[in-house]
């Protein structure tokens, strides 16, 4: 399904709403204002104004806004600064841009900085030697207990955290560990410096809801319903040997993922089949 038009969404109210309640009337009226463009993307929706216009209390107003957020029409952001000692609000609400084609495009080629481009950077959170558990050893074709390099970074674009990346590489990478602290490093270019030839990757993508740990790292409100992409990336050299494992967690409300691949099995080079 390509995605319904705003007019089609407007003509199809959410299911199981109590049509006579004042909360429902507020939801439907706000939906109409958003979908017809009377309220523009990025516009702040203040709780006090909505309370006054529709005669709602605090709980009813937040219920209405969160129902709209679930539908993707409202964006929920945590309050960063308190405006006074009695300000108990934890969220701010904005009209969402529900055109997914305006999101950040990731072509899945190269490392994050080269893939996304302008204003992209990484902040290292952890960089250390670990010993491979059974899962990591199996994916990297090592023996459990062999040393590996673990790197966790926050990926940013224009100062917004858009992804968390956990990378595991074999210990032959140890000499270039200091380079991974730089905000613009490209892992695959570093591999080439060591004589490796990263050529192919395979990714598995799942959609999940953010945990408390991820909400803290991304700076998400506990009420933000946006999902996360969980991407398992395996990178191989030209002979089909694994070079790296990445566990990527990307914001589903920011990213678009663009892939290309052969349509038939014979289009996949022999070393990478069944990887």
Give the CATH number of the domain where residue 19 resides: 1.10.10.10
pLDDT at residue 85 tops 80: no
Query: Which of 100, 133, 161 delimits the end of a domain?
Result: 100
CB 56 within 8 A of CB 50: yes
| Same domain for 259 and 131 | yes
Q: How confident is the model at residue 82 (pLDDT cuts 50, 70, 90)?
A: low
Indicate if 220 and 119 belong to the same structural domain.
yes
214 occurs within a structural domain:
yes
Q: Could you report the per-residue pLDDT of 63-77, keeping only the tens digit for each?
A: 999 999 999 999 999
Residue at 134 is within a domain: yes
Helix, strand, coil percentages for the chain (3-state, nearest 5)? 30, 30, 40
Residue 141 to residue 127: CA distance in whole angstroms: 21
Report yes or no on whether pTM surpasses 0.85.
Answer: yes
Instruction: Work out the average pLDDT over 176-185.
Output: 91
Same domain, 137 and 256: yes
Alpha helices (H) in the chain, listed in sequence order: 6-10, 22-35, 47-54, 58-70, 112-116, 134-140, 187-193, 212-218
The rounded distance, in Å, linking the Cα atoms of 268 and 136 is: 25
CB burial string 247-266: b at 16+ within 10 A, e below: ebbbbbbbbeeeeeeeeeee
> Going by C-beta distance under 8 Å and a sequence separation of 6 or more, which residues neighbour residue 47?
58, 61, 62, 65, 89, 93
Whether the Cβ atoms of residue 232 and residue 249 lie closer than 8 Å to each other:
no
Measured distance CA(72)–CA(97) in Å, rounded:
8
Domain enclosing residue 245, as ranges: 103-272
More confident residue, 165 or 88: 165
- Examine the domain organization and report whether 134 and 93 are in the same domain: no
- Per-residue model confidence as pLDDT tens digits over 88-128: 678 999 999 988 888 888 888 888 888 886 778 889 999 99
Which residue among 65, 100, 135 closes a domain?
Answer: 100
Q: Are residues 15 and 132 in the same domain?
A: no
Q: Are residues 133 and 19 in the same domain?
A: no
Do 232 and 114 fall within a single domain?
yes
Residue 1 lies in a domain: no
* Domain tally, the chain: 2
Q: Read off the CATH number of the domain in which 178 is found.
A: 3.40.1410.10
Say if residue 84 is in the same domain as residue 45.
yes
Domain end: 100, 120, 140, which one? 100
pLDDT over 60 at 86, yes or no: no
Which of 70-74, 113-117, 226-230, 266-270 is predicted least confidently? 113-117
């Amino acid at each position: 399904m390509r995605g319904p038009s705003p007019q089609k969404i407007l003509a199809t109210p959410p299911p199981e709403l109590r049509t006579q309640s004042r909360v429902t009337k507020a939801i439907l009226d706000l939906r109409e204002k958003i979908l017809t463009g009377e309220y523009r993307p990025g516009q702040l929706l203040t709780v006090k104004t909505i309370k006054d216009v529709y005669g709602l209390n605090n709980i009813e107003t937040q219920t209405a806004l969160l129902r709209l957020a679930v539908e993707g029409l409202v964006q929920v952001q945590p309050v960063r600064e308190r405006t006074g000692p009695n300000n108990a609000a934890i969220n701010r609400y904005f009209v969402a841009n529900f055109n997914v084609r305006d999101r950040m495009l990731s072509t899945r080629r190269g490392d994050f900085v080269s893939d996304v481009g302008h204003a992209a950077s990484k902040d290292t959170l952890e960089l250390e030697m670990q010993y491979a558990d059974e899962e990591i050893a199996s994916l990297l074709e090592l023996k459990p207990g062999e040393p590996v390099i673990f790197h966790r970074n926050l990926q940013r674009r224009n100062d917004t955290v858009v992804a968390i990346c956990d990378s595991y590489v074999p210990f032959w990478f140890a000499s270039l560990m200091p380079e991974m602290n730089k905000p613009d490093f490209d892992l695959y270019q570093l591999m080439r410096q060591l004589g490796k030839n990263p050529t192919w990757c395979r990714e598995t993508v799942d959609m999940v809801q953010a945990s408390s740990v991820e909400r803290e790292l991304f700076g998400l409100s506990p009420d933000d319903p946006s999902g996360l992409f969980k991407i398992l990336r395996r990178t191989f050299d030209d002979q089909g040997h694994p070079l790296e494992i990445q566990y990527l967690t990307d914001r589903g409300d920011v990213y678009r993922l663009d892939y290309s691949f052969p349509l038939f099995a014979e289009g996949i080079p022999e070393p990478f089949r069944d990887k």
